[in-house]
Each structure stands twice: as structure tokens, then as C-alpha cells.
A and B are shown apart, each in its own frame.
Chain A
């Protein structure tokens, strides 16, 4: 049976600026996986642990966060805070016996960069390899 992953991305306004271009059409043309649902936030530092967990509760097989470079966050420390919360969720998933790799953090520069698409592709590849989340009943 084929598996179509469901992936949720929380991206800061700055790292995901290109997603707005032509209503996301440019991203699609660059090969950004259609299995990824993007939630844009003003700053990843605002993304709470509960929001990341809720994405899993809502059926995501994988969740990742894209924020500014650690040393160059638009909001100084927002993406560093996000990375720590992501690490906390990874640990909690592992406590539940679930692969921590279903939750990842990426730091990317603002603007249209191939890395934004590449991280999406990499995340999708990893989640496809891991298979469906064990949280389905």
C-alpha cells in the first residue's frame, strides 16, 4: 500500500518569503513537496511545544520548523528558542517510543534559496522512509 506522508511545516515569515510569490506557484515549480502543509508564523520563537504536538495529534507523520539562522534571527533569539522546543518535542517523542526524527529544526536564510526546497524534499524523503506515524488509530 502506498504511503503519502502528511507533513506540517512551521516556517517563520522571513525564511518562507518565497512561499508568497505567485501564491506559492513558484515553490511548486521548484519541486517543493505537495505533501507539506506550511504554517507561516511571524517568528518561530512563538511556536509553542503544544503547537508542535497538536500537529502530530492532527495526523502529521512528520513536523519540522524552519527559522532564521541561529546567529542571524530577525528577532534575535527566536529561532534558537524554537530549536530548543523542537529538541524538547524530539525527546518527548522518543519517551513515547517514537522516532525523534519525525520532528526537525532547520535554520535557513531569508529569501528565495534552494535550501528551503531542499529541506522540504529531505524531510519528505525521511518521513517516507519512516512510514506512517504510530499515532494513527
Chain B
């Protein structure tokens, strides 16, 4: 899922300081699962915004709403049920949702409530870990299913580097050296020889360095 976290309140209050009515819009997709932008978090944010505005001696009217997702046109259309009732939308979706609202509602002011952080999963309750970098050229079949792009601090294709100590990363000792883990896992699977293969210099153009990416599947287009 896409993992995100709420922006600092000072930043959010600054965005809405001139608004008298806002729509705090939760997303029932990834950000609900990672407890950053679901309906519960929207209720808490609405409360914090009201308090923050009160502290500035102002009042603000807040509508709390939610969409199934904010990354599909058909769901964005549901925003129209609140048409004319707000000065701005505070989107609690990931950055994709904010962009979609901006793309599809030319006259609507939209602000992000969250910082979109990474593609990850829940390691334990309340803890999420980055697992995928969305680089567009997956090498997981070569690395035992563990991603060196997202999980190696240097995104090395041939690791581990000389900074790996006791299976920990030199950049941050709290982080496992994913290349050590790749080695251990491949060895455990009887595929340790794969570590001997030298990965060639990588073409990173698929990872966004060639500009915004787009996927077109003709068999699905209308």
C-alpha cells in the first residue's frame, strides 16, 4: 500500500487560515489501512483544525467526507455532493489523490493533509516499512524476493557494500542490510550461487528519471 503520515499541524493551519469552510476529505484506500487518512483520522484532523483556528481567534466550518478512493475519476465525481459548501478541500489521500482532484476540478482549491512517504507494508501494529520503490524494472526474481532498490540505502545492484556490519546497514544500525538478508535467504533456498552473478549497470530510465511515467494497456482502453 501507499504509506503516508499527517503533516505538521502548523503547516495545515497555514494552508487553511483564510478559509471559512473546508471539506476534510478522507480516502478509504491505502491511507485508511495505514491509519493516516481514513475517516477516523479525518475526524481527528477536523477537530485539530477547529482548535488551531480557535487559537487564532477564528472559527471555521468543517464538513467531513470520504471517498472510496481519490485516485479514480468515478470516485472523484462524488465530491460534487458537497459542491458550493466549502472554500477548499483538505485531502487526506496520498499525493495521487490530491493530484486527481486538482486534475479533475479546475476551480477547486485542494491542499494535502498528508506527506506521502513510501510503498510499504505493516511490519507490526503501528509500524510500517518501505518495501518497494516502484522503480519500474523489478529484480525481485534475482534477489530472493527482497528489494535492493527500496531496502538498500544505496540501492546497490551488487551488494553488500563494505559498510555492512553484522547484518546491519552502515547508514543506520536500526536497518537490516538487505543484501546480507538476500545472501542468507538465497543460501537457505539452495540458490546461493545467484550471488555470484554480477548485475550489469542498470538503466534507471524506468524509475522516473525519464520524467513522469504512464502505463497504457490497449486491451483495456475504450
Contacts of A56 in B (CB 8 A): 47, 51
Contact check, A49 vs B54: say whether CB atoms are below 8 A apart: no
Contacts of B154 in A (CB 8 A): none
Chain B interface main SS type: helix
Contact among B9, B40, B57, B58 for A92, CB-based, below 8 A: B9
Hey, what's the 0/1 contact readout for B46-59 against A, CB within 8 Å counting as 1? 01101110110111
- Closest chain-A Cβ to B39's Cβ sits at a distance in Å of 10
A4, CB-defined interface residue at 8 Å: no
Given contacts A95-B9, A95-B10, A96-B13, contact A50 B47 (CB under 8 A): yes
B44, CB-defined interface residue at 8 Å: yes
- Closest chain-A Cβ to B72's Cβ sits at a distance in Å of 28
B8, CB-defined interface residue at 8 Å: yes
Chain A interface residue bracket vs B: 10 to 19
Q: Bound state CA distance, A54 and B50, in angstroms?
A: 10
Q: Bound state CA distance, A96 and B50, in angstroms?
A: 11
Q: Bound state CA distance, A116 and B50, in angstroms?
A: 32
Contact check, A134 vs B44: say whether CB atoms are below 8 A apart: no
- Which B7-22 residues sit within 8 Å CB-CB of chain A? 8-10, 13
Contacts of A134 in B (CB 8 A): 54-55
Contacts of A54 in B (CB 8 A): 47
- Which B174-190 residues sit within 8 Å CB-CB of chain A? none
Task: Give me 19 A-to-B residue pairs in the complex whose CB atoms sit less than 8 angstroms apart, sorted by A's number.
Answer: A48-B40, A50-B40, A50-B43, A53-B44, A53-B48, A54-B47, A56-B47, A56-B51, A57-B50, A95-B10, A96-B9, A96-B48, A96-B52, A96-B55, A97-B10, A134-B54, A135-B51, A136-B54, A137-B58
Known: A50-B40, A96-B9, A134-B55. 20 other contacts (CB 8 A): A48-B40, A49-B44, A53-B47, A53-B48, A53-B51, A57-B47, A57-B51, A92-B48, A95-B9, A96-B13, A96-B51, A96-B55, A97-B10, A97-B55, A98-B51, A98-B55, A134-B54, A135-B54, A137-B54, A137-B59
